[in-house]
């Protein structure tokens, strides 16, 4: 049976890899219902010609006319603005890939969840910014979350979900990013080009910088906490530079189950697209003799304090993880725009957290989307002021 699919963020790294698998599987396997992008008109036009979706949405209103002009005479409905992205997510499909980057992915992904369908969850920010609210909506609408983040996909694959008491802990692996062997003194002078040059994975800009600070792993800690309902002390992080072991589950009898594979996001994407079946993916076969060594190291919190901030935010709860994400988005954008240095990313985050946490006490986790968006906005403004003061 043909699976109807929608891709939120189809022009990004995860979006394009998803379409690569869809293309190879053929029109009998998948029918593309809707595609969305932020401002990349060129790629959205090309994808529209190739995959013939019924609806496309572009979030950036300033590019709307350009998109319409390029597609005049083509049989496709076009929506412009952030509301149109949410509208795309509401169109009936069987599977939606949530691959927008940042907190902007939250409203449309929630709209997809409300359909009670299968969701391929790449946008970890949904769980970082509003974990409790998001999981509540997933349960209420009977949606099936299929983690696409490679670590959570690994855990999903090896987790015996019907025996929660048999699980002792999760071990999330981290590649360590491009800088894990650099000293603090070296980190003072690293450039954005260095940060974007990930040794193993090829990804969008924001997650690449987050991998360099290890904030990405911090977000993944929070993601695992909400996704699998595990406490902080049940989730450990270990640096594994080869990125072959994608994560592990330790059971009470001492067994540790790992999922392995070459570092190619098309593996977890294919798993999510087809679950509970499996499909062929055009990935390089894992050759362990060639890899030869799998090494593991304790993460260094002194050089990579992002991990500490993320764990504290998760344990604090309330709006803390939401503020953490907003501060990181603003700081990473400033770093990419070369208005702050690498180590100042952490400074912006810790100062924004300090200021905002006194304004928004962590007495309960937010359960209303409008509150999450309001605090996100406030934290962005604060982070902007912190940057201006540096």
The footprint of ligand NAD (CB under 6 A) covers 9-15, 37-38, 40, 59, 85, 99-102, 104, 122-125, 149, 201, 203-205, 207, 265
* Residue 40 binds which of ligand NAD, Mg ion, none (CB < 5-8 A, kind-dependent): ligand NAD
Strand partners, 58: 37, 80
Q: Is residue 223 close enough to count as binding Mg ion by CB under 5 A?
A: no
240 touches which of Mg ion, ligand NAD, none (CB within 5 to 8 A by kind)? none
Q: Least separation, in Å, of the C-beta of 104 and ligand NAD? A: 3
For the record, the structure tokens of 275 come out as 């679950």
**Torsional class of 323: left (φ above 0), alpha (ψ -120 to 50), beta (otherwise):** alpha
- Alpha-carbon gap, residue 342 to 334, rounded angstroms: 10
Q: Which does 365 bind (CB under 5 to 8 A by kind): Mg ion, ligand NAD, none?
A: none
The number of beta carbons lying within 10 Å of the beta carbon of residue 109 is 30
Sign of CA dihedral 256, 261, 265, 271: negative
Q: Residue 210 interacts with Mg ion (CB under 5 A)?
A: no
Closest to ligand NAD by CB, 152 vs 351, is 152
Read off the tokens for 109: 């992904």
Q: How far apart are CA 34 and CA 220, in angstroms?
A: 28
Shortest Cβ 151–Mg ion spacing (Å): 5
Q: Which does 38 bind (CB under 5 to 8 A by kind): Mg ion, ligand NAD, none?
A: ligand NAD
- Closer residue to Mg ion (CB): 59 or 155: 155
Least distance in Å: CB of 305 to Mg ion?
Answer: 19
Shortest separation between residue 99's beta carbon and ligand NAD, angstroms: 5
Q: Which does 204 bind (CB under 5 to 8 A by kind): ligand NAD, Mg ion, none?
A: ligand NAD
Minimum distance from CB of 100 to ligand NAD (Å)?
4
> Do 199 and 260 touch, CB atoms closer than 8 A?
no
CB under 8 Å to 99, separation ≥6 — which residues? 7, 8, 9, 10, 12, 14, 15, 18, 105, 120, 122, 123, 148
Which residue number, 48 or 357, has a Cβ lying nearer to ligand NAD? 48
Distance between CA atoms of residues 89 and 112, nearest Å: 5
Choice between 209 and 239, CB closer to ligand NAD: 209
Question: What is the nearest approach in angstroms of ligand NAD to the Cβ of residue 271?
Answer: 13
Tell me whether the omega of the peptide bond preceding residue 276 falls within 30 degrees of 0, making it cis: yes
CB of 206 to ligand NAD, least distance (A): 6
Label the pairing between strands 245-251 and 167-174: antiparallel
Site string for Mg ion, 144-183 (x = CB under 5 A): -----xxx--------------------------------
Beta carbon of residue 151, minimum distance to ligand NAD (angstroms, whole number)? 8
In the bound state with ligand NAD, the residue whose beta carbon lies nearer, of 85 and 340, is: 85
CA distance 146 to 132: 17
Separation CA 13–CA 205 (nearest Å): 10
- Residue count (the chain): 390
CB nearer to ligand NAD: pick between 122 and 310? 122
Q: Are 112 and 6 in contact (CB under 8 A)?
A: yes
264 near Mg ion, rule: CB under 5 A? no
Nearer to Mg ion, 87 or 149 (CB): 149
Q: Three-class SS of residue 267?
A: helix
Binding footprint of Mg ion on the chain (CB under 5 A)? 149-151
């Amino acid at each position: 049976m043909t699976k109807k699919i929608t891709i939120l963020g189809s022009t990004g790294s995860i979006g394009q890899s998803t379409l690569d698998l869809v293309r190879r599987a053929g029109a009998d396997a998948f029918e593309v219902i809707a595609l969305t992008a932020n401002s990349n008109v060129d790629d959205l036009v090309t994808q529209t010609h190739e995959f013939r979706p019924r609806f496309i949405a572009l979030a950036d209103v300033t590019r709307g006319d350009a998109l319409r002009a390029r597609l005049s005479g083509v049989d496709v409905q076009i929506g412009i603005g952030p509301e149109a992205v949410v509208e795309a997510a509401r169109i009936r499909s069987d599977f939606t890939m949530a691959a927008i980057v940042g907190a902007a992915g939250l409203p449309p992904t929630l709209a997809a969840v409300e359909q009670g369908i299968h969701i391929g969850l790449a946008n970890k920010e949904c769980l970082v910014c509003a974990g409790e609210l998001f999981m509540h909506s997933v349960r209420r609408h009977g949606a099936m979350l299929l983690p696409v983040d490679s670590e959570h996909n690994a855990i999903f694959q090896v987790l015996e979900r019907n025996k929660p008491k048999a699980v002792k802990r999760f071990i999330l692996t981290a590649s360590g990013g491009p800088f894990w062997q650099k000293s603090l003194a070296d980190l003072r002078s690293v450039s954005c080009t260095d940060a974007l040059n990930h040794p193993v994975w090829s990804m969008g800009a924001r997650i690449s910088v987050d991998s360099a600070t290890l904030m990405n792993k911090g977000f993944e800690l929070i993601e695992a906490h909400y996704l699998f309902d595990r406490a902080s002390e049940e989730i450990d992080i270990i640096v594994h530079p080869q990125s072959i072991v994608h994560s592990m589950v330790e059971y009470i009898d001492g067994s540790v189950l790992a999922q392995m594979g070459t570092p190619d996001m098309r593996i977890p994407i294919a798993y999510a697209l087809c679950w509970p079946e499996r499909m062929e993916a055009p990935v390089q076969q894992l050759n362990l003799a060639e890899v030869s060594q799998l090494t593991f190291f304790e993460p260094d919190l002194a050089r990579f304090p992002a991990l500490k901030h993320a764990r504290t935010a998760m344990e604090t709860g309330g709006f803390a993880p939401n503020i953490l994400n907003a501060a990181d988005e603003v700081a990473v954008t400033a770093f990419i725009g070369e208005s702050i240095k690498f180590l100042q990313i952490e400074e912006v985050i810790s100062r924004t957290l300090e200021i905002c946490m006194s304004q928004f006490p962590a007495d309960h986790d937010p359960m209303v989307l409008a509150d999450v968006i309001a605090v996100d906005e406030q934290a962005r403004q604060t982070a902007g002021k912190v940057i201006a003061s540096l």
